[in-house]
Amino acid sequence: MLQLTDNAITVLERRYLRRNSEGELVETPEDLFLRVARAIAQVEENFGTPQEEIDSLAQTFYELMCKLDFLPNSPTLMNAGRELGQLSACFVLPVDDSMEAIFDAIKYAALIHKSGGGTGFAFSRLRPKSDHVSSTGGVASGPISFMKVFNAATQAVIQGGKRRGANMGVLRVDHPDILEFIRAKTDENELTNFNISVALTDEFMAAVADGRHYDLINPRTGEKAGSLPAGEVFDLIIEGAWRNGDPGVVFIDSVNKFNPTPQLGQIEGTNPCGEVPLLPYESCNLASINLSKMVSGNRVDWDKLASTTRILVRFLDNVIEANQYPLPQIDKQTKLSRKIGLGVMGFADMLIQLGIPYNSEEAVSLAEELMCFIQKEGREASVELGKIRGSFPAFSESIYKDQYPALRNATVTTVAPTGTISIIAGCSSGIEPLFAVCYVRNVLDQDRLLEVHPLFAEKVREVGIYSQELMEKVAAEGTIAHIDEIPQEIRDLYVTAHDVTPQWHIKTQAAFQKGTDNAVSKTVNLPNQATVEDVRQVYHLAYQTGCKGVTVYRDGSRDAQVLEVTKKEKPQASARNAILPRKRPAVTQGVTHRVQTGCGNVYVTVNSDGEGLCEVFTQIGKSGGCAAAQSEAISRLVSLALRAGVKVEAIAKHLRGIRCPSPAWQAGEVICSCPDAIGRVLANYINGADELCAADEVEEKLNNFQGACPDCGSHMKHVDGCAVCIACGYSRCS
């Protein structure tokens, strides 16, 4: 019954299936789904459900997961039925204006990251830089300085033993330190474990429209602390987003307009990807329906979608009971509102099955209809659960108290990015367009596997134009929009993220938002040549159409994004006699270059003797480290080659363009890796240049990929501030 792609099996084996103390797999994918199903169903005994009914419900959960009709968020898959038992994907923690509260938040975040969750923080309560501190007579250092402490703590903790923690930092636009916050990630080496978003108010947006100043408010005193021209601040936000994707924005008044429990407080922050605005200490449990499985023939199977939705509401409410929360405050606050987040994935696949182009009014209308239907069915299921199990404790004072006789969950719907679980489900992620219809996946050391979207492969075979050569061409282009061999109706249907204009991205997000209690995770992908004005239009349209936030990502604006192109086969090297390198002279002369890489600064020393270059030394980090050992090995081999008569040009050419998972920028150029840094220094010697030269010898095509995966070497795509491997599911945020 369970049919998984090779990528899905890789993801499950690397990140989800249980292993014994020797690291050997002791669980199959079927075992995993059965473990989760039984653990989530068994908590029904808390409500007096007979064991026979519990067993039947567990079987239903199991079968739906095996059919890939839905999947819960990653912590539930990883931890349900296991000792850790932490099942929530996202949390928001308060950061109050005292040293004790700040460092409590850091400690709590570390515990959450250790358990596999991500954290959001609003730093708007912290007094601004240089403000008075009465207890010491000194001055405050401001929220950005403390964000750096949070960032350093996150760096030291691996999320659930699987990945480094992810954070969202939010600051209100009327905080006196807002300009420093907007510029906080101009240097991409700062706040590397944070996505950041500015909380924009309706008052601020009105001031932008009117071309006037707006007031800054000191959170310590509540008094006016100056004013800024709204238009210029908005320009800075837009320029930052255009430059590297940060900051994003949250329309905080729109969020609180739909806050279901205002009596519990105002919402200040969101989870790391922005789709779940939460009160302090709240968590949210997520699951996503695979829309590609909700199609029968050439129509939406509304009956199946309704039944799946209702079952999932019960599943997620059970998750709240089964959850072992990392903090007692989170346990208490989560159960006050019992928020759940039922979302979707596979929307692009559904559209293809229905023959509807993503960038069309028909697709936008379907998006709204789908999500409003899921919200209606989900809300009705929550009402029925509320009648049986009781409403969430804060229901009597919630915005729903006069609309429903009972309600189990304060929120029901959320649209999450589904970066990893969509790989397991074998469908498109969230509500995004296809990221590619064809790409190259690296397997083992040197093997390259051409991956073709199954629906696309089926279609081109149907019209009789499938060939390996055509698929290689599609992989090289990254899009079929300009490939004349493919009929126009197919090109219109199989659009990728960069084929879709920003306006259609926002229209789709706004359509889904109409049926979403929480918020919608959506990245507006922009081509590299997009202008600052393009970003401005996206932000205005998002606000005007009722989106609760927006994230843009301009192709190539962060790190190096390389879509592997098909390279010509290299001729076999001819055999040659061994050449003994000349001896190193006693005295050499040279220079040392400092190059910034993703591993830190690398110092490359190039020495020469009377016959030309003769040796290279590199220094990076502390001796004994892996990076230091590898760079030393490269340097020795380069030195050996130089003294053996190998041309400098040949050495530089082979080192240039080697990619690692953490590229960096220097002098406006991408430094792909430590070997690339050495190759660039050698190229400088050839060209007689003092600065790093351009990468004109490296054949690259920019697309929506985010470097190479450190685990498997395949491509990574950018999803809501995170980079996700399209093959094995590895992810890193910011």
Amino acid, res. 431: I
Pairing of strands 438-443, 283-290: unpaired
C-alpha to C-alpha distances, 7 to 156, 163, 243, 426, 712, nearest whole angstrom? 29, 19, 32, 8, 11
Q: What's the token pair of residue 364? A: 């936008």
Exposed e or buried b for every residue in 486-506, given b needs 16+ CB within 10 A? Answer: beeebbbbbbbbbbbebebbb
Give CA angle at 22 (20, 26), nearest 5°.
30
Catalytic site residue from 151, 167, 259, 271:
271
273 a catalytic residue = yes
Give the C-alpha separation, 391 to 407, whole Å.
Answer: 5
**Is residue 589 helix, strand or coil?**
strand
Estimate to the nearest angstrom the gap between the alpha carbon of 150 and the chain centroid.
19
C-alpha to C-alpha distances, 218 to 130, 166, 178, 224, nearest whole angstrom? 12, 28, 11, 6
| E strand or H helix that includes residue 171 | strand 167-172
What is the chain's length? Answer: 734
**Is residue 632 helix, strand or coil?**
helix
733 a catalytic residue = no
Q: What's the token pair of residue 275? A: 């789709």
Nearest to 69 by CA among 271, 396, 307: 307
275 a catalytic residue = yes
The string of DSSP codes covering 73-136 is: -HHHHHHTTSSS----SEEEE---SSHHHHHHHHHHHHHHHHHT-EEEEE-TTSPPTT-EETTT
Nearest to 507 by CA among 359, 348, 337: 359
Contact 422, 428 (CB under 8 A): yes
Q: Strands, DSSP E only, in 610-663?
A: 612-619
Catalytic site residue from 90, 273, 284, 733:
273
Q: Give the residues across from 724 on adjacent strands.
A: 717, 731
**Is residue 51 helix, strand or coil?**
helix
Q: Could you give the strand order of the β-sheet that contains 705-708, starting from the edge strand earlier in sequence?
A: 705-708, 715-719, 722-725, 731-733
Phi-psi map region of 86: left, alpha, beta (phi>0 left; psi -120 to 50 alpha): beta
Within 13 A of 630's CA, how many CA atoms are on the CB side? 12
Catalytic site residue from 44, 188, 268, 275:
275
Q: Please report, to the nearest 10 degrees, the dihedral formed by the alpha carbons of residues 717, 720, 722, 726 taken in order.
A: -30
In sequence order, which residues have a C-beta less than 8 Å from that of residue 187 and are 6 or more positions away? none
| Secondary structure string (H, E, C) spanning 448-505 | EEEEECHHHHHHHHHCCCCCHHHHHHHHHHCCCCCCCCCCHHHHHHCCEHHHCCHHHH
| Secondary structure string (H, E, C) spanning 340-352 | EEEEEECHHHHHH
| E strand or H helix that includes residue 424 | helix 421-425
**Is residue 636 helix, strand or coil?**
helix
So which residues are the catalytic ones? 271, 273, 275
